[in-house]
Amino acid sequence: MTTSNLRIEWPTLALIVATYAAWFGAGAVLYPYSAALALIAMAVINALHSSLVHEIIHGHPTRNARINEALVFANPGLIWPFRRYRKMHLNHHADERLTDPFDDPESYYRAMYLYDGFPTWFKKLLALSNTLIGRLILGPPLSTFALIMADGAAILRGEKPVIRAWALHAFGLIPIVFCITQIFQIPLWVYVITASYGGAAIISLRTFAEHQWHETPEGRTIVVERSPLSFLFLNNNLHLVHHQNPTMPWYDLPALYAQDRDKWHRLNDGYIYPNYWKLFRSYALIAKEPVVHPAWHRSKETE
């Protein structure tokens, strides 16, 4: 085995251990004294765990994919099966297809012909979801519903990778649910609508404006320069830097950005925000993007 195969990124490994320890501590120690504070803390920790899952998907902290998966296998956020997220997210990293409503699994745009067939209430719901507050509230349930519907259909068709992903996910949830209900004595439904939902909502803030339509692939990806949330997002606020260097560990991204800030600004045609507060002030109640993709109105016949 080569040295590169043995290399371990210790900051990431230490953070994984600390994240699970903090989650357990919030439930076992803090919850008996303050349920509200414990559930808020667990929501934040769940968001950090989601960021760590993203890091693992890109090949960290070891060179062994099975070991990496095992490190985040038990998902305190409850929702996304690791292998389903991994497949969709790696497909998303085909930058030439970013924002395509058909080929980018993380696109929030819709094709015109599909949108035209939606009922009026659903069109209004999607428009509301394109405001920042709407995304925080509606993003988690809409994405969860879409995942369950799509994967449920795949399971009924007998697609083995999807079945295996959900089976492994369910197995990983056993210790998590046991801790929540038996050790922490938190009603599961309370945990779902607070800590689980809250963690997903925090991640929705990061993903809200990560991509927009632009003629060039590089112009489709944002940079949010400074934020107290940078650590929680593992510097994925520097999203263009990540897309250009998807295998670089999270702790190296800020230095790379700082080396040539002007280059990054030119590369994405100035799709830069100084912080998330600026994004919030601009789009809290105003839709940032149209629901229908502004360029790719693919017809049903050419799907």
Indicate the burial class of 146 (C-beta count within 10 angstroms; 0-12, 13-18, 19 or more): exposed
| Contact of 229 with 51, CB cutoff 8 Å | no
pLDDT in tens, the chain (303 residues): 333 445 899 999 999 999 999 999 999 999 999 999 999 999 999 999 999 999 999 999 999 999 999 999 999 999 999 999 999 999 999 888 999 998 999 999 999 989 999 999 999 999 999 999 999 999 999 999 999 999 999 999 999 999 999 999 999 999 999 999 999 999 999 999 999 999 999 999 999 999 999 999 999 999 999 999 999 999 999 999 999 999 999 999 999 999 999 999 999 999 999 999 999 999 999 999 999 999 875 555 444
CA torsion angle 265 267 272 276 (round to 10): -120
Separation between Cα atoms, residue 39 and residue 175, nearest integer Å: 18
pLDDT in tens, 182-239: 999 999 999 999 999 999 999 999 999 999 999 999 999 999 999 999 999 999 999 9
Separation between Cα atoms, residue 186 and residue 269, nearest integer Å: 48
Separation between Cα atoms, residue 52 and residue 85, nearest integer Å: 12
Residue 299 has a pLDDT of 52
Residue 303 has a pLDDT of 45
Task: Output the pTM of the full model.
Answer: 0.93
Q: Enter the tokens of residue 171.
A: 């197995």
Q: Which residue has the tokens 């799709």?
A: 271
Q: What is the mean pLDDT of the chain?
A: 93
Shortest CA distance to 58 belongs to which of 247, 260, 202, 299? 247
H or E segment at 36? helix 35-57
Q: How is residue 272 annotated by DSSP?
A: E
Residue 4 has a pLDDT of 42
Domain ranges of the chain: 3-302
